[in-house]
Amino acid sequence: MRIDGSGAIVVGGASGLGEATVRRLHALGAAVLIADVNAERGESLASELGLEFVAADVRAEAQVQAAVEKAAQADGGLRIAVCCAGTGWAEKLAGSRGPHALVPFETIVSINLIGTFNVLRFAATAMIANEPALQAAPARTSAGDAGSEGYGPDGERGVCVNTASIAAYDGQVGQVAYSASKGGIVGMTLPAARDLARHGIRVNTIAPGLFDTPLMAALPEEARRSLGAGVPYPQRLGVPSEYAQLVCQIVENRMLNGETIRLDGALRMAPR
């Protein structure tokens, strides 16, 4: 999928990973709509970049649908949908204080998993209405490649990128709600891609490790350095622009579909 000239929506696009994605897609020529629950930050970013902002809580069906429908008004329709909306909660399953409270678990699953599903289902519906994108056939790169022979237009209509976390695989103590919500996103990636394959819509997920986001910025500097030093290589926190770079690489590579990609510097989280 070509980024230049494509309509895009970034949900959770007002800060952190989402903001970096908005900036990169915009710089590469996409018509980006920012959607976020934080209207102040979203409107500020939109004003800075000359883009549009829509306030949307991913749990609110009507708000998500309205945001996607607005993004679909771009020339050529909605082609790129990225969901970065999410939050966390720290609480053990059971202990001296009793069982894990139900409401926080429900809230985290509602925002992270059901919210992502909301964005995905409405974005996919909008993309189905698109005409297939104009595409060049893959070029011959070596004597052993098939080259362009046998390749026609792939009929691609859109690309959806979701955001999970390495906690989906390496959930730590106190992360049962967060890990469950992110594991659900990983689990629906392949079947979603298979559901949408006949429409020429790809679905992929990024599972970031430790990234220097506003949530991480709340920690003391010493704690942030210590966390970064635990990453095998590079020994630092990831920066949001690296997440945004991977989003764009996913968008542009038509063979990448139904996959969850860990973006973590080879980090495997310890229990604590």
215 band by pLDDT with thresholds 50, 70 and 90: confident
Q: Which has the closest alpha carbon to 196: 252, 113, 254, 121?
A: 121
Amino acid at 174: G
Q: What is the pLDDT of residue 133?
A: 82
What pLDDT is recorded for position 19? 98
178 catalytic per annotation: yes
Q: What pLDDT sits at residue 147?
A: 43
pLDDT at 149: 40
Do β-strands 98-99 and 94-95 pair in parallel, antiparallel, or remain unpaired? antiparallel
Banded pLDDT at 87 (limits 50, 70, 90): very high
How far apart are the C-alpha atoms of 169 and 196, rounded to whole Å? 25
How many CB atoms lie under 10 A from the CB of residue 9?
33
Q: How far apart are CA 124 and CA 142, in angstroms?
A: 35
Q: Find the mean pLDDT for residues 156-182.
A: 96
Whether the pLDDT of residue 24 is over 80: the answer is: yes
> Is the model's pTM score more than 0.85?
yes
CATH T-level topology, domain 7-134+157-263: Rossmann fold (3.40.50)
Confidence at residue 151, expressed as pLDDT on a 0 to 100 scale: 43
pLDDT reported for residue 150: 41
Question: Cα–Cα distance between 58 and 189 in angstroms, integer?
Answer: 18
Q: Tens digits of per-residue pLDDT, 99-147?
A: 999 999 999 999 999 999 999 999 999 999 999 987 655 555 554 454 4
Q: Output the CA angle 252-256-257, nearest 5 degrees.
A: 120
**Count of helices and strands (H, E) across the chain:** 10, 9
Instruction: Indicate if the pLDDT at residue 226 is higher than 90.
Output: no
Confidence label for 217 from pLDDT (cuts 50, 70 and 90): confident
Q: Per the residue annotation, which of 169, 178, 233, 243 is the catalytic one?
A: 178
Helix (H, G, I), strand (E, B) or coil at 121: helix
The torsion angles phi and psi of 34, rounded to 5 degrees, stand at -95, 130
